[in-house]
Chain A
Amino acid sequence: MDTPLVVLIVLTSVAVTSPLYEMVFGKKSLKYVQYLTTLSLLVSLILLISSTLSLTPQESTVPHLLRNDTLGSFFSLMVILVTLFVSITSFDYMKGNSNERIYYSLLLFTAIGMTMLSFAVDLLVMFVAWELMSLPTFILAGYNKQDKLSNEAAVKFFILGALSSGILLYGISIMFGITGSTNLDVISQSLTSLSPDMLPFVIFSTISILAGLGLKLSIVPFHMWIPDTYEGSPTTVSALLSAATKKAGFAAAIRIFVVIFPLFYFDLSLALSIVALVTMTLGNLAALTQKSITRMLAYSSIAQAGYLLIGIVVLPYTDLGLTGLLYHSFNHAILQASAFLAVALVRLKTSSSSLDSYNGLSKIMPITSFCLALSLLGLAGIPPLNGFWSKLILFAAAVDGGYTWLALAGLVNSAISVAYYLLVIKRMYMDETSIKAIKEPFMFISILVFASAIIIVTGLLPNVIYDIAEDITISFLANNPV
Chain B
Amino acid sequence: MTDVVFLVVSLLTVFFAILALESRELVYGAVALSLSFLGAAALFILLDSIFIAIFQVLVYVGSIAILIVFVIMLVRRDKWANVTGGNERILGIIAAVLLFSTITYFSLSSSLTSQYPNPTAISNFYEIGSQLINDYWLILQLTGLALAVSIIGALTMAKFENR
Contacts and interface: CB of A to CB of B under 8 A. Distances in A.
B106 A200 contact: yes
B163 to A, nearest CB: 7
Interface string B134-158: 0110110011011011101110110
A263 interface: no
A132 B161 CA distance: 27
A478 interface: no
Q: Which of B103, B110, B135, B152 has the most CB of A within 10 A?
A: B152
Contacts of B154: 139
Q: Which of A5, A124, A154 has the most CB of B within 10 A?
A: A124
A347 interface: no
12 contacts: A16-B148, A64-B135, A102-B156, A105-B152, A109-B145, A116-B142, A131-B146, A132-B142, A132-B149, A135-B149, A145-B157, A198-B110
A139 B146 contact: no
B149 A65 contact: no
A12 interface: yes
A142 interface: yes
A99 interface: yes
A24 interface: no
Interface in B101-130: 103, 106-107, 109-111
Contact of B145 (A12, A62, A99): A12
A146 interface: yes
Contacts of B142: 116, 125, 128-129, 132
Contacts of B110: 197-198, 200-201
Nearest to A195: B111
A: contact size bracket: 35 or more
Contacts of A146: 161, 163
B145 A112 contact: yes
Contact of A62 (B111, B138, B143, B153): B138
B106 A139 contact: no
A264 interface: no
B107 A200 contact: yes
Contacts of B107: 200-201
Interface of A: 5, 12, 15-16, 19, 62, 64-66, 98-99, 102, 105-106, 109, 112, 116, 124-125, 128-129, 131-132, 135-136, 138-139, 142, 145-146, 154, 195, 197-198, 200-201, 204
A383 to B, nearest CB: 42
Contacts of B106: 200-201, 204
B138 A132 contact: no
A53 to B, nearest CB: 25
A102 B136 contact: no
Q: Which of B107, B143, B145 has the most CB of A within 10 A?
A: B145
B70 to A, nearest CB: 18
Given A106-B153, A131-B146, 9 more contacts: A19-B152, A109-B148, A125-B139, A129-B142, A136-B153, A138-B153, A139-B156, A145-B161, A200-B107
Contacts of A142: 157
B152 A102 contact: yes
